[in-house]
Every structure is written in structure tokens, then in C-alpha cells.
Structure 1
Amino acid sequence: MDKDGPRIKLRLEYDAPLVLGPGKAQLLRLIGQLGSISAAGRQMGMSYKRAWTLVEEMNAAFAHPLVDSSRGGAGGGGASVTPAGQAVLRHYESLEELLRDQGASDLAAIGALMKQDKENGA
């Protein structure tokens, strides 16, 4: 455990099938910021193919696409997070915050039951 306490990694598994976790949430965030699937993937250390595959998985699982993209070319391509994508990301982040805030005492209790690192004087 680090000095700031445990990290919560929320992973939602749906029968769609879809797993929505920190990686896909970060990909959505970065596409929104950078306007590009390839740039978002690069920033996360993944190939364009991998980033595009994740976007396709998300778009296929929801009633409305989460990411809208246009092909490159003379004017260049681009991507944007749709209103549905923004809503999914907002709800995902809200769940993360809820777990951090409402679960703080449970996280502390679990941490107190863990072995203490003797090298750090604990």
C-alpha cells in the first residue's frame, strides 16, 4: 500500500458483453481532450488498433455510440465523445467518487488488518 492509501479500480461487468473499467474511462477522457483516438491511444501507450477496438466495443454495447469518429484524409480525421459517452463517463466517475468517499472507513479498516512493512518503520 502506498502513502496515499489504496487505489480503487472500479470494474463494471455487463452482459452486453462489456467490461467498463479505468482503462476505457481514461480512453474516453483522452479522446474528449485530444479529439483523436490515435492520440489518446498513444498517450496511454497502446496502438491505434487497440484503442479503436476498445472504442468499437463500447460503441457496440450501448444504445448510442460513445465516440463519434471521422476518417483521416486531406483535412485530417478526428473523434469526439458523444453526449452518451459523456454521460457514461460522468456516471462512472461518480461511482468512483462514491466508493472513495462512502468507503473510506471500510478501506481504512481493511488497511489496518494488513501486514505492516517493517522496513518503513511501521
Structure 2
Amino acid sequence: MIPVSPQPSAILVRPRVYIGEGISVGPGKIDLLRKVGETRSISAAARALGVPYKRAWLLIDSLNQGFDTPVVETATGGKGGGGARLTELGLQLVTAYDALEKRLNLEAKEELAVLQRLAERPTPE
């Protein structure tokens, strides 16, 4: 099962995480991985997110190259058609990111409320 992203709210922390020198993971890559898991296709995921296919492919390739094992596996077309799927590592990555995002948002409630109030203040004329 593909983890579901948190419900959108008025204000939300969506972190970018740098793992060593070669891997960065943020909301864009996680949303893309989630869509690949749902659609079983990089091109369908890219279309759904409004991202050019080449950009989506490069983002996935950067993750596949950064980790010791791929996060997405692809199959070329043919009789059964092509496709893509999240590997166990890809599923674990989405799950871990979602847990981090949830925890950050829970722990930062007070600060997020202050930021929300600041955004709602009327601007002086």
C-alpha cells in the first residue's frame, strides 16, 4: 500500500532532507514516488503532477543512483506493456518521509499558528 500524504491545511511544513552529499529528498520527489506507486507509470505520474516526463525521470534516476538499490524499478514495453513500481526501499522512503513530516507538523503547532496569524494580519494602507 502506498502511504498517503497528509491532509492539506492552511499551513504545513514539507521538509527537504539532505542525506549525505548525494541524496536529497523533499516534497516533490516524495509526491512523484507516491504517484508512481499509484499509477505504476512514470509518465502517468508526471502527467498527474504537471511535471515534464524528462524531469520526473531525472528525479527518480537521481534517487535510484543515490541509494545502493533502486527506489523505482521500470519495465520496458512489449506484450505486457511497460511500467514502473516502487521497490521496498521506495515504499520505506515514502513512509519514513511521511512520518517525519507528520512529526514536524505536530511538534511545530505553536510556531505554525504564529506564522498563520502573521499571514492573516491585514496589511497597513
Higher relative contact order (CA 8 A, sep 6+): 2
CA distance in 1, matches of 2:120, 2:58: 40
CA distance in 1, matches of 2:31, 2:102: 15
Aligned to 1:80: 85
Tell whether 2:31 aligns with 1:26: yes
Say which of 55, 59, 75 aligns to 2:60.
55
Query: Aligned AA for 1:27?
Result: L
Trace 1:66-77 onto structure 2 (pairs within 5 A): 66-77=71-82
Query: Aligned AA for 1:29?
Result: R
Whether the 8 Å CA contact 2:72–2:85 is kept in 1: the answer is yes
Trace 1:1-122 onto structure 2 (pairs within 5 A): 4-112=9-117, 116-117=121-122
Superposition TM-score, scaled by structure 1 size = 0.84
**Deviation (angstroms), 1:114:** 5.5
For the pair shown, the structure with the greater C-alpha radius of gyration is 1
Runs of at least 5 residues in structure 1 that lack an aligned partner in the other structure = none
Secondary structure (helix, strand or coil) at the match of 1:68 reads strand
**Deviation (angstroms), 1:65:** 0.7
CA distance in 1, matches of 2:47, 2:119: 37
Whether the 8 Å CA contact 1:16–1:61 is kept in 2: the answer is no
**1:13-43 CA distances to partner (integer Å, 9 max, x unpaired)?**
2333222111100000000000001100111
Superposition TM-score, scaled by structure 2 size = 0.82
Runs of at least 5 residues in structure 2 that lack an aligned partner in the other structure = 1-8
Query: Aligned AA for 2:90?
Result: G
CA distance in 2, matches of 1:61, 1:16: 9
CA distance in 1, matches of 2:44, 2:38: 10
RMSD: 2.0
Q: Percent identity among equivalent residues? A: 36
CA distance in 1, matches of 2:78, 2:50: 24
